[in-house]
A and B are shown apart, each in its own frame.
Chain A
Amino acid sequence: MKWFLSNISIAIALLLCPQLMTAQTSEKNSDFYSDFTKQRHEKWASYIPDTFSIQYAGGIGMFSAGVGWRYGQNEQWGTYILGGFLPKREMEHSHVTFTIKQQYTPWHIPINNSIEIEPLNCSFFANTIFGEEFWMTEPDKYPTRYYGFSTKLRFNLGIGQSINFDIIPEKRRRSRMVSLYYELSVCELNIVNMFNRYIGLDDVVCLGVGIRYYR
């Protein structure tokens, strides 16, 4: 058993600290280290966000801003995280919100060399609002499943469109492309509210507009 444990720990140490191994062999083979470092940088570089966006309204705050990643063969997927701010206005306090959004873009239609249209963006996003009056699960004071929902967490479905403007290479400063988008969304509680004749989709739909910079 002891023998087994010591072997395992050595193996884990070797796996976790490849630098130790490379350090020992650096004089003999310095290329291994530089290759490894290069690979590691490339690997982590792929996680650098591709986009930075600022959004107005859209059910996730008055203004929200955050970063995102576009991926897939045709950049059809997008994942965005956004922090939002709700000013005091009609509320008792101002609030901070956090949103994670998954987007699917089936088509990219080029208009000319520099303009491209995304005619449909389908999105699903979850939003949480911070503040003591909002709870994720019902506080203990309530009988079990008294309300049966969370006031803190909203799930939303949205559709929208965007128009992307390529920036010509000579004029690029911080981004290669600028995108303007809008999104119509509805949260799950308002979908529940629609189960009658009086409230229609136009009453519950929520509009947001934004600008997105591509790295």
Chain B
Amino acid sequence: MRFRWFTVIIMTVLLLGGCDAFDYHPYSDEISGMTDINPKNIAIIEQLCKGKNEIKFAFLTDTQRHYDETLDAVRHINQRDDIDFVVNGGDVSDFGMVKEFLWIRDIMNRLDVPYITLIGNHDCLGSGEHTFHKVFGSSNFGFMAGNKFIMGLNTVALEYDYSEPVPDFGFIRNQLLTINEWNSTHPEQQIEQTVVLMHARPYNDVFNNNVATIFNKFVDQFPGLTPAAPTFDSGALKGSKRNGLCINGHGHNYHVEDTFNNGILYHQIPNIAERVYMVFTLNENGYEYEMVSF
């Protein structure tokens, strides 16, 4: 009798061992599946956009705990075939727990096009920052999409206590040097436009506002972001070639401002719970944008 019970228990344990419900801790669950997504997807984007002069990307943000809305957005984006890549603007998770990152990753992986992910302040909670780096890769990245330069920056300084430079001016400077070198050696395919992506914009509560103007001084040296007479008209859907483009999330509502009065517009995208994402088209005339409700 005892032997039989023992067998039953062993069988049960073996069966249970097959399922992945054995969790050690919310902040240390196993990271199964795809990791290091940003570098992988950036390589795909650079390949897909090679030689293109018009780039179209969707920006959705603050997906924290809004799994249904994120999934609907992914399905909606999959229905159209004009998007080159998608940006998740950060606050992927709400509590920084490993599973939250993986749930959103698995939803975003359903996209037919590659996507990149920015780090948000919520993603730094607990062991979240480490999980973000494992799953998505570096929180600062720059790449070429056709003849446009896309730079994603970690701007959630409030989470770092000076342990890391946020924003990382060393990184930004290196990107600038890379672009200048590229432009001096590739006269036939100049980078003329730059888009800076970040979770929180300057003068936001999590930005290091002591360096907000210095941040602007670095950003406005990039191609397409150099100062010009501001011509923005809130009613117009078209920006001019000289109007710089920075995109951020974090604020949970749509807001656009010329923060430093130099023509660089900071577009703040509503969170995904509003069932909205935005599509930006970069072309020879500058950029166009539309807000898409789903």
Contacts and interface: CB of A to CB of B under 8 A. Distances in A.
Interface of A: 56-62, 84, 86, 89-92, 95, 97, 112, 114-115, 127, 129, 133-134, 141-143, 147, 149, 151, 154, 163, 165, 180, 182, 184, 187, 189-190, 192-193, 195-199, 203-209
Nearest to B71: A198
Contact of B27 (A62, A151, A205): A151
B65 interface: yes
A143 B24 contact: no
A57 B66 contact: no
Nearest to B106: A198
B28 A180 contact: no
B99 A61 contact: no
B16 interface: yes
A97 B127 CA distance: 14
Given A147-B125, A192-B65, A91 B71 contact: no
Given A59-B25, A61-B24, A133-B129, 7 more contacts: A56-B22, A151-B125, A190-B99, A192-B65, A193-B94, A198-B103, A204-B99
A133 B71 CA distance: 31
Contacts, number: 112
A57 B22 contact: yes
Contacts of B127: 91-92, 133
A160 to B, nearest CB: 12
Interface of B: 1-2, 5, 9, 13, 16, 19, 21-31, 65-68, 71, 94-100, 103, 107, 122, 125-127, 129-131, 134, 158, 161, 205
27 contacts: A56-B22, A59-B24, A62-B24, A89-B24, A90-B28, A90-B29, A90-B31, A91-B27, A95-B25, A133-B126, A133-B127, A133-B129, A134-B27, A151-B96, A165-B5, A189-B26, A189-B95, A189-B97, A190-B99, A192-B65, A195-B65, A196-B66, A198-B67, A203-B103, A204-B99, A206-B21, A209-B22
Nearest to B68: A196
Contact of A208 (B22, B30, B125, B130): B22
A198 B74 CA distance: 13
A110 B112 CA distance: 57
A177 B20 CA distance: 30
B67 A199 contact: yes
Contacts of A154: 26
B161 A141 contact: yes
Contacts of A207: 16, 19, 21-23
A142 B122 CA distance: 12
A163 B25 contact: no
A173 to B, nearest CB: 17
Contacts of A187: 26
B28 A95 contact: yes
Contact of A149 (B9, B71, B95, B158): B95
